[in-house]
Structure 1
Amino acid sequence: MPDISYPVVVAAAKTWFKLGAVDVQMEGIEHLPETGGALLAVNHTSYVDYLMAGYPSVARGRYTRFMAKREVFDHPVGGPVMRSFKHISVDRSAGLESMDVAAEALRRGEIVGIFPEATISRSFLIKDLKTGAVRIAARAGAPLIPVVTWGCQRMFTKDHPKDFKRGKTVLVKVGEPMYPTGADPVAETAELRSRMEALLDACIREYPAEEQPPGSWWLPASYGGSAPTLEEAEAIDAEEKRKRAARKREKAMKKRKK
C-alpha cells in the first residue's frame, strides 16, 4: 500500500520549518541505510520527537515506522492516523508479540523507530533504557542506530506550556550502527546508552549559546540548567504513575457500582 499521509506531513513539516524559522541541523545521516531494515533508537524529550527523529530518514528518501503504545492506536482519531503512517502498535502486556511485529517489519526492509526510554525524560538526559531495542535488532539481524535530538523539548514537552514561536534550533545526530547479537542484552543496552549519551553531550555542547542560557529549564542541571536531575525526575515519574494508577482504580470502581 503506497504512503499517502507521510508525504503530506513531510511537506507540511518543511513548510513549518521555513515559515517558523526552525533550523533543523542534521549530522550522520550517512549512517542510515538507503535500502534494507534498520532500527533507530531515539532519545525522548518531547511530543514532537517523532517528527524530528524521522527527518534524517526522509533525507535518505525513506520513512520511519515508529513503535508507539497501543493506547494511541485505540484512540478514535489518533488510531487511524497512526495506522496511515504504518507505525507499529506496542502492547506492553504482550512484549514478545510486539517485538515480533517490529522484527518482521525490519525483515521486510523497513526503518523502524523505537524510544528505549519508554517515556519522556523530564531531566532531558538519557534515562535507563529497556532491553527491547537490542533484542529486536538481534532477532531481525538488523543494525541498531542511535539517534539523538536536542531542542524539541523547548516546543512541546511535559510540565511546560507549548511554545512554537519562531527561531528555534533543533539538532539531530545519527550515530554509527551497532549490530547486537542478543547474547547479552543488558551489556548491549548499556553500550547503546553510552553511545546515546555521547551524542547528547555533543548536541548540548554544540547548541547555540544564545538559545541556551545558563539556568534554562530545558537544560539538564549537570550542564548548568534548572531541569530536574535524573533522580528528581525519576521521583516525579513515580508519583505520576501512582496517581495514574489511582485514577484507573477509581474509574474501575465507579463502573462496578453502576
Structure 2
Amino acid sequence: MAEIVYPPVIRTALVLFKALDLKIRIEGAERVPRTGGAVLASNHVSYLDFIFAGLAAWPSRRLVRFMAKKEVFANPVAGPLMRGMHHIPVDRSAGAGAYGAAVRALRDGEIVGNFAEATISRSFTVKEIKNGPVRMAADADVPLIPVAVWGPHRLWTKGRPRRLLQRHVPVTILVGEPMLPGPDAPLADLTTELRRRMAELLDRAQRTYPEIPPGVWWQPAHLGGSAPTPEEAAALDASARTRRAKPGADV
C-alpha cells in the first residue's frame, strides 16, 4: 500500500522530539522483525503511546498499524492522519470487524500494534489485559512482541493537563523477547504470560528512569510516587464509566 502519510509523520515527530530535547531510549528494537507480520503488545500510560511504541519498529524500518477506538478516526484533525497511516478503527460494541482486519493485516505481513489493557492505566502499572493480542498472533501464526513505554504520560495522560511542549522529558521504550503462540496456543496461559512480561519490562523502565523526585504524581505508588494505587485507579475508572453512561453525558 502507498505510504505517503506515515513516514513524514514519523520524521516530523522526531524533529519535534529533538527540538524538545526528549531523551528517548529504545532497547531491544532488533527484536522487531524486518519482514513478515508481528503483533506489538504495549502497555498504555498516555495518549501519545502509539507514537512512542511505534518508534520501537522504526529502526527495523517497519510501520506499525495500531488498533484504536473509532472515535479517534472521527476527529477532524486526527482522523485523516489515522486513515492515512492505515491504522485500524475499533468499534468496542462490535469488535469482530476490527479483529478480522487486524488478522488480515498480519497475514499480509504487517505489524499490528495493540494496547492490551484497552484503556490508559491511571496507576501506571499494567492492568488486567485482554486476550486479543494472543488470539491475533495465534490466528495469523506470527510472533507476539511485548513492549513497555514509560515517560510519555508526563506530556499527556488521563486526568492531567496536557504539557506537550515540556522539554527534556526522558522516554523509555523497551522491547521484549518475542513469543510464538502458534495456532494451538493455550490462550489463558499465554495471556497471563504476556501480562507478566509487559509488567516486568515496565518495572525495569520505571526503576531505571532518571531523575525521579520523591512523591511525584507520574511515579506509581509502589515506587514512592503519588499516582493512584491500582485499587484507587479502578474506582476512578468505574466512576468515569458511570458518568459516561448518564444521558447527555459528555466526558
SS of alignment partner, residue 160 of structure 1: coil
State the Cα distance separating 1:137 from its structure 2 match.
0.8
Q: Which residues in structure 2 correspond to 1:80-119 (within 5 Å)? A: 80-119=80-119
Distance in 1 separating the partners of 2:93 and 2:132: 13
Distance in 1 separating the partners of 2:77 and 2:66: 17
* Residue 20, structure 1, aligned to residue 20, structure 2: yes
Taking structure 1 as the reference length, the TM-score comes to 0.92
State the Cα distance separating 1:77 from its structure 2 match.
3.4
Distance in 2 separating the partners of 1:15 and 1:41: 26
The C-alpha deviation readout for 1:168-211, integer Å capped at 9, x for no partner, is 11000000011124542222111000000110111011111x2x
Aligned to 2:170: 169
Aligned residues, how many?
247
Greater shift, 182-191 or 132-141, is seen at 182-191
Distance in 2 separating the partners of 1:105 and 1:68: 15
Residue 58 of structure 1 aligns with an amino acid whose one-letter code is W
Residue 127 of structure 1 aligns with an amino acid whose one-letter code is K
Distance in 1 separating the partners of 2:109 and 2:26: 23
The C-alpha deviation readout for 1:56-80, integer Å capped at 9, x for no partner, is 2111111111001122223343322
Distance in 2 separating the partners of 1:141 and 1:111: 13
Distance in 1 separating the partners of 2:162 and 2:100: 36
SS of alignment partner, residue 234 of structure 1: helix
Residue 142 of structure 2 aligns with an amino acid whose one-letter code is A
Q: Which residues in structure 2 correspond to 1:1-258 (within 5 Å)? A: 1-163=1-163, 164-181=165-182, 183-208=185-210, 210=211, 212-246=212-246, 249-250=247-248
Distance in 1 separating the partners of 2:19 and 2:74: 33
The C-alpha deviation readout for 1:77-125, integer Å capped at 9, x for no partner, is 3322211000011122222332111010001111110001000000000
The C-alpha deviation readout for 1:212-252, integer Å capped at 9, x for no partner, is 21201000000000000111000000100110011xx237x
The C-alpha deviation readout for 1:122-154, integer Å capped at 9, x for no partner, is 000000101111111111101110010111111
Distance in 1 separating the partners of 2:101 and 2:159: 33
Distance in 2 separating the partners of 1:56 and 1:187: 26
What RMSD over aligned residues (CA atoms) do the two structures have, in Å? 1.3
Greater shift, 75-84 or 226-235, is seen at 75-84
Distance in 2 separating the partners of 1:57 and 1:37: 12
Unaligned stretches of 5+ in structure 1? Answer: 252-258
Asked which structure has the greater CA Rg, the reply is: 1
SS of alignment partner, residue 250 of structure 1: coil
Greater shift, 4-13 or 191-200, is seen at 4-13
Aligned to 1:254: none
The C-alpha deviation readout for 1:3-60, integer Å capped at 9, x for no partner, is 1111211111111121111010000011100000000001100011011100121111
Distance in 2 separating the partners of 1:27 and 1:37: 20
SS of alignment partner, residue 172 of structure 1: strand
Residue 243 of structure 2 aligns with an amino acid whose one-letter code is K
Contact 2:103 2:136 (C-alpha < 8 Å) held by counterparts: yes
Residue 162 of structure 2 aligns with an amino acid whose one-letter code is K
SS of alignment partner, residue 172 of structure 2: strand
Q: 1:58 to 1:183 in 2, by over 3 A?
A: closer
